[in-house]
Amino acid sequence: MAVDLFWYIILYLYPQHSNLITLIQYLLQQQTNLPLDLFKILIFPGILFVSVVSLFAEWYDRKIYARLQNRVGPFHTGYHGILQPLADIIKLLAKEDIVHKGAEARSLAATPILALTLSLVMLMFIPIYKNSGIISFEGDLIVLLFLSTIYVLTIILTGWFSIDRFSEVGTARAGMQLIAYEIPLVLSTLTPAIIVAYYYSIPAQANNILNIILGTTTPITTPTILSVLTIANITQTQQTIGIPFILLAPISFAVFIISQMAELEKVPFDIPEAHTEIVAGWQTEISGKKLALFRLANDLEYLWAAGLATALFLGGPWGPGSEIGLTTIERLTGAFPLGYIIGTAWFLIKTFAIIFLIANLRTLFARFRIDQVVKGSWKYLIPLALLNILILQTTFYLDLFKWQTTYNLLILITQLL
């Protein structure tokens, strides 16, 4: 009663904001555990956790990259230079923010904020300590791909708003490269969903066969398109069958890693920011606080790319011990959910293994020309991604994994018994 009176007084005092107040009231009523949700968003596995891990990932990447080139890398700031990424961002925040004459000042100020926000939101979809992220719903994989495309557009718009000859060249290169590699990235990302769709369609197929044999009409629910395009279901399926999808679709995994390197503009795909040719490409006129935000957004996107590869192809937080304290009986008895801690450890191990792989690939190759980069996507990566899908469909049709045969025998024996 007191709560209702409070909202009535607020509406009476601020009638001009009635729609906003009603929305806030509705959202607060929907929250069953607001402090816990805020902790997840702000602390773990939310903003603070991913920011710290992304800065550590940058240091780790730079150290591996330097070691492979017979250099030292970051060394002085903190233990072996571990605080160098943080120091770089703090330094940039203190620098003067210079805006090029004739540039779109307001739009240019908005793009780094949008890029940082998108990076943080995309990381909320990644399953870090359990099979689902902070944001999880049916079809969230499609939404995540859409957000990553919007991030690409922020990069293009940043160079366009700068109105600088070097920025324009870098923006044109970035646009051609990033849009070209969106296609193989989407194809390789959807490959795990195809595997999930086949795996969950087996019970329906077996049920149809059983109905024909026994003359029954038992209905069974078939998986929807949105359910197989859900990151939680993809991660859970790998745990259920006990096989990471990297073993079932290695070509798609390779295409995914190469496409993400191009999206991140990592060597040898750094032609949009070629420092020896066009200063810094689309970032030429970005300085001070804007550059700091873009640096942090890039680190977060790097962690997102490695985390998404972990979730789609390596099982996410799944690993030995990740179920301790999480079974139904253990939850009923109030056991400590140790599996969440172990699952987080497995996620970090796999994610940094992906970062180690990318650092090695950066070292092995020199910068490609923009025509070579675009040609590589259309001529090689897209056909390879389609080939992997074709191989999987053929494998499913021939039942080479024996999933269909095994399920048919089990369900037939069960019905006969």
If you compute the radius of gyration of the chain from its CA atoms, what whole number of angstroms results? 25
Domain ranges (residues) in the chain: 44-55+83-416
Instruction: Count CA atoms within 13 Å of residue 183 on its CB side.
Output: 15
Quote the CA–CA distance of 277 and 187 in Å, as a whole number.
32
Query: What 3-state class would DSSP assign to 7?
Result: helix
Number of Cβ atoms within 10 Å of the Cβ of 221: 10
Number of Cβ atoms within 10 Å of the Cβ of 153: 16
- Helix/strand/coil percent split, the chain, to 5: 75, 0, 25
Query: What 3-state class would DSSP assign to 188?
Result: helix
How is residue 242 annotated by DSSP?
Answer: T
Instruction: Give the burial class of 303: count Cβ atoms within 10 A of its Cβ; 0-12 exposed, 13-18 middle, 19 or more buried.
Output: buried
Would you state the structure tokens that stand for residue 238, as one six-digit string?
A: 């790998």
Distance of CA 8 to the CA centre of its chain: 43
Quote the CA–CA distance of 243 and 249 in Å, as a whole number.
11
Q: What does pTM read for this prediction?
A: 0.87
Q: List the pLDDT tens digit at each of the 417 positions of the chain.
A: 455 666 666 666 667 666 666 766 665 665 556 778 888 889 988 899 999 999 999 999 999 999 998 998 898 889 999 999 999 999 999 988 887 777 778 888 889 999 999 999 999 999 999 888 999 989 999 999 999 999 988 988 888 888 777 788 888 888 888 888 999 999 999 999 999 988 887 766 555 555 555 555 555 566 788 889 999 999 999 998 889 999 999 999 999 999 999 999 888 888 877 766 766 777 888 888 998 999 999 999 999 999 999 999 999 999 998 887 777 676 667 677 888 999 999 999 999 999 999 999 998 888 888 889 899 999 999 999 999 999 998 888 887 777 666 666 666 666 666
Quote the CA–CA distance of 177 and 265 in Å, as a whole number.
9
Would you state the structure tokens that stand for residue 378, as one six-digit string?
A: 């259309």
